[in-house]
């Protein structure tokens, strides 16, 4: 069971820790300057045919003999969207990357829902797969965690460009998207991230890799098989090869980080042997996520 009693206790504690951090100087509310049908009254304007007559101020009409509409200040629909990679490569590692990513997503969602933020989530491989429709309020926490729990299985290849493109078209209003993935997609991720960034999405990418992927412990004549594509390559892995591989992985991470920097995307690297609570607290303290 992914979200057991112990996990939930840790989330509670994490929430308390966060409140303490927030009280010490972080602002936790997000207010929009756009007028709308929110609860707080803002101003009046002249009635135009087609306006919602429920908002006509009849007291003012009796005094002035003209129709005015009450305007309210809308609380911003602050959307947090979590995108979790569930391609086959996420099954790698002990614990697997998908398990770690889901725990992290669970914690982030929990904090968001506790804070009355609007939280949505999707799992993806070549397309968006299962989706948790955006909602808010603490009463959604259970359903949210259940959704993640039910989607632990990994399958298929990754197609980040396609998925991120789709997301940018799906949601007209930009929000915050947190992408949890290993980004091990041979086809790249640049196009998708760019299209989200172009539409003013506030993007966080959390690259999840296992220690074995960063520093493999294999040696000898080996046939390596891609877990997603089943592509096979025979290779003699010696210390030279391992050193080259490590360099290659560093470059891959650096490329992603540079790209993120260029597009004002926040990049977070997450090695699966790090505890998710520590990561979240660190992110918040460093004002990466709030």
Partner 1 sequence: MEFANFTSIYFLTSLILIILFYIIKGRQNSVYISAVFLWEDIQQQKKKKRPRFKFRPRPLMFLQMLIVALIVLGLMQPYFTGTRAAEENVVIIIDKSASMQAEDAAPDRFSRAKMMASSYIEDMDSNISAALIGAGSQPTVLSELTSDHGLVQEKLADLTVSDTELNYQKTAELAHSYLDEGRGRIVFFTDGNFPESEIEETNILNNIEFRLIGEPIGNIAITEIKLAPTSAGANEFQLFVEFSNYYDTLQEIPYVIRSPEMVFVDDTFTIQGGEKEQKVYNLNLEERTPLIVELMIDDTLKLDNRAYAVGGRSRDIFVLIAGEQSNYLERALLLQPGVRLFYREEPDDDLNYDDYDLVIFNEYDPQNDIEGKVVYIDTLPPEIDLDDISAGDEFPVEAFFWEQHHPLLRDINPDDLRIYENPAPLIIEEKDVIIRGRQAPLLAVSEEKIILNFALTESNFPLLPSFPVFFYNVLDMFFQERIYPEYSQIRSGETFNFGRTVPGNVVDIMGPTGEIYSIEEQTEVFTRTDKTGIYQAVINDNSHDYFAVNLLSQQESDLRNTGLNLEEDQINDLEDSTDTAESRINLWPLTVILALIVLPAEWLLYARNGNGV
Tell me how far apart the 2 most distant CA atoms of the chain are, in Å.
Answer: 91
Nearer of residues 35 and 222 to partner 1, judged by Cβ: 222
Nearer to partner 1, 32 or 229 (CB): 229
Smallest distance, partner 1 to C-beta of residue 272, A: 12
Residue numbers of the site for partner 1 (CB under 8 A)? 89, 92, 182, 184, 186, 212-213, 216-229, 231-236, 241, 244-245, 248-249, 252
Taking the complex as a whole, the smallest distance from the CB of residue 97 to partner 1 amounts, in Å, to: 8
* Beta-ladder partners of 79: 118
For residue 222, say if its preceding peptide bond is cis, omega within 30 degrees of 0: no
* Closer CB to partner 1, 15 or 187, in the complex: 187
Order of strands across the sheet with 266-271?
A: 128-136, 118-124, 79-85, 176-181, 202-209, 266-271
Which residue is associated with the tokens 């891609």? 226
Whole-number Å distance between alpha carbons of 66 and 62: 8
Give the residue with the Cβ less far from partner 1, 73 or 125: 125
Residue closer to partner 1 (CB basis): 82 or 90: 90
Instruction: Report in angstroms how near the CB of residue 248 gets to partner 1 at its nearest.
Output: 5
* 24: three-class secondary structure by DSSP: coil
Residue 213 beta carbon to partner 1: minimum distance, rounded to whole angstroms? 6
CB 107 to partner 1: min, Å: 24
Please say which residue, 87 or 202, places its beta carbon nearer to partner 1: 87
**Least Å from the CB of residue 233 to partner 1:** 5
Q: What is the DSSP string of 130-183?
A: EEEEEEESGGGHHHHHHHHHTT----S---HHHHHHHHHHH-SS--EEEEEE--
Helix, strand, or coil (residue 94): coil
């Amino acid at each position: 069971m992914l979200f057991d009693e112990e996990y939930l206790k840790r989330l509670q504690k994490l929430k308390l820790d966060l409140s303490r951090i927030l009280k010490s100087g972080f602002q936790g509310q997000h207010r929009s300057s756009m007028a709308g049908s929110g609860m707080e009254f803002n101003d009046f304007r002249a009635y135009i045919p087609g306006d919602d007559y429920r908002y006509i101020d009849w007291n003012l009409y009796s005094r002035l003999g003209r129709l005015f509409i009450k305007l309210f200040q809308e609380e911003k629909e602050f959307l947090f969207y979590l995108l979790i990679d569930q391609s086959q490569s996420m099954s790698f590692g002990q614990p697997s990357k998908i398990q770690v990513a889901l725990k992290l997503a669970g914690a982030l969602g929990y904090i968001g829902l506790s804070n009355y933020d609007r939280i949505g989530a999707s799992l993806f491989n070549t397309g968006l797969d299962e989706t948790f429709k955006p909602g808010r309020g603490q009463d959604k926490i259970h359903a949210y965690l259940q959704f993640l729990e039910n989607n632990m299985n990994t399958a298929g290849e990754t197609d980040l460009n396609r998925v991120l493109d789709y997301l940018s078209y799906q949601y007209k209003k930009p929000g915050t998207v947190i992408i949890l993935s290993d980004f091990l997609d041979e086809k790249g991720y640049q196009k998708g991230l760019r299209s989200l960034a172009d539409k003013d999405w506030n993007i966080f990418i959390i690259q999840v890799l296992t220690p074995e992927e960063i520093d493999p412990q294999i040696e000898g004549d080996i046939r390596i098989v891609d877990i997603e594509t089943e592509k096979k390559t025979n290779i003699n892995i010696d210390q030279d090869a391992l050193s080259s591989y490590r360099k290659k992985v560093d470059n891959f991470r650096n490329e992603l980080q540079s790209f993120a920097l260029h597009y004002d995307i926040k990049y977070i690297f997450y090695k699966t042997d790090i505890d998710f609570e520590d990561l979240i607290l660190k992110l918040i303290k460093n004002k990466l996520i709030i």
